């Protein structure tokens, strides 16, 4: 059994669509970067902390992840307001940014951890497009303030790397870790 230490409906959906049986048991970990922490170290630390905080039996496979967006020298988490989402979209407009997901799998006293990085390029957005999308409600629970699989898909003209990483879980990296940990292959 895979225990998903996350409340993310997107992570749950990705795992289910890939054929895995999961049980959702979110871990409660404070998500605040330290002053000198770079985005890669930040998402890896949070994934490890979430995996460690999740209650699981020895035979279970605990999977935790954390995603953030790095743009123009800023870590862009989930926006706190429509205005915050608009601020993030202005930073992304016409630029390439990095989507980073830290993944940690724990099983039998061992752990497999890594970070997936995907480059995403936004087209230039008008202020009207920024305000309309920010006000749509879609950005509010998404790192970087956008959903590549939703309304924001029309703003993205290039993705270099794992698409599923941008959605919230680099499934090929997860699958590699599961195989290394001895988990049976899905149907």
Residues acting as catalytic residues: 66
DSSP states of 34-97 as a string?
-TT--HHHHHHHHHHHHHHHS---TTSEEEEEEEEEEETTEEE-S-SSHHHHHHHHHHHTTSEE
C-alpha pair distances (Å), 55 with each of 32, 51, 66, 86, 171: 22, 9, 18, 37, 22
Q: Say how far apart CA 166 and CA 100 lie, in whole Å.
A: 8
How do 156-160 and 110-122 pair as beta strands?
antiparallel
- How do beta strands 74-76 and 22-24 pair? unpaired
Paired tokens of 151: 């309304």
């Amino acid at each position: 059994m895979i225990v998903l230490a996350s409340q993310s409906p997107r992570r749950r959906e990705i795992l289910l669509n890939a054929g895995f049986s999961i049980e959702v048991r979110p871990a409660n970990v404070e998500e605040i970067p330290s002053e000198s922490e770079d985005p890669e170290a930040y998402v890896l630390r949070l994934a490890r902390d979430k995996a460690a905080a999740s209650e699981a039996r020895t035979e279970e496979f605990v999977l935790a992840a954390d995603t953030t967006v790095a743009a123009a020298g800023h870590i862009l988490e989930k926006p706190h307001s429509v205005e915050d989402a608009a601020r993030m979209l202005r930073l992304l407009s016409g630029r390439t940014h990095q989507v980073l997901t830290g993944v940690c799998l724990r099983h039998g006293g061992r752990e497999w951890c890594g970070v997936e990085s995907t480059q995403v390029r936004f087209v230039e957005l008008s202020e009207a497009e920024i305000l309309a999308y920010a006000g749509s409600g879609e950005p509010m629970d998404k790192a970087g303030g956008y959903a590549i699989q939703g309304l924001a898909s029309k703003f993205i003209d290039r993705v270099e790397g794992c698409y599923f990483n941008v959605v919230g879980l680099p499934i090929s990296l997860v699958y590699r870790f599961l195989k290394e940990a001895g988990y049976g292959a899905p149907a």
